[in-house]
A and B are shown apart, each in its own frame.
Chain A
Amino acid sequence: SQQGEEDPQALSIQEGENATMNCSYKTSINNLQWYRQNSGRGLVHLILIRSNEREKHSGRLRVTLDTSKKSSSLLITASRAADTASYFCATPSGGGNKLTFGTGTQLKVEL
């Protein structure tokens, strides 16, 4: 079963704009991760935020976590065409030893 649900399911923006994706999850977690998947490729880890953190930055990425609402957001600033991909949130479950992925957001950045 899916632990996380991302929204929107699809997002289309112009290069240079910011892209925001949201993730909601169901159970208590000690960390939340975001991954990117380019078409036809495997998933690549982007960033991890721990439950005691509210915000984290990595380059053009900004992740927030609200454990009271069981939600997280991923912001990509100054988007580029190369950011076109699907983005997934993932949370540990099963005692913390397996990773369950959300449904993903398909981001398209147009020139």
Chain B
Amino acid sequence: DAGVIQSPRHEVTEMGQEVTLRCKPISGHDYLFWYRQTMMRGLELLIYFNNNVPIDDSGMPEDRFSAKMPNASFSTLKIQPSEPRDSAVYFCASSLAFGKGTEAFFGQGTRLTVV
């Protein structure tokens, strides 16, 4: 397996534009997570899915953020409209259930810059 694949690796966009980040989890993993990493706030969990169903989106900062998982092999995180304070590195990760003592596998991240 190629691991968790994210695209694009880098995204520069103007304030107000829509941004879509993409993630392909590891086949067979039933959990998918979106994290955001900034210097100020560290690594924050935005939302996670179990078997394609959103379970906890309490970390999503605002209604401008939305995430979908239409099937087991694909998820998107959308920001509309984007703002400069959304600039961060966004990571997707997949796993089996952590409570069973399994690890998370992270993608390489998407570095988003909103100007």
| Residues of A bordering B, CB below 8 Å | 2, 30-31, 33, 35, 41-45, 48, 50, 88, 90, 92, 94-104
Contacts and interface: CB of A to CB of B under 8 A. Distances in A.
A45 to B, nearest CB: 4
27 contacts: A42-B93, A42-B106, A42-B107, A42-B109, A43-B91, A43-B93, A43-B106, A44-B106, A88-B43, A95-B99, A96-B97, A97-B31, A97-B48, A97-B50, A97-B98, A98-B31, A98-B33, A98-B48, A99-B33, A99-B45, A99-B95, A99-B98, A99-B104, A101-B42, A102-B42, A103-B42, A104-B43
Contacts of B108: 41-42
B115 interface: no
A97 B97 contact: yes
A92 B102 CA distance: 10
B56 interface: yes
A54 B76 CA distance: 40
Contacts of A103: 42
Given A33-B98, A98-B55, 12 more contacts: A33-B104, A42-B91, A42-B106, A42-B107, A43-B91, A43-B104, A43-B106, A88-B43, A96-B99, A97-B97, A98-B31, A100-B45
Main secondary structure of the interface of A (DSSP, over half): strand
A48 B50 CA distance: 22
Given A97-B50, A98-B48, A30 B107 contact: no
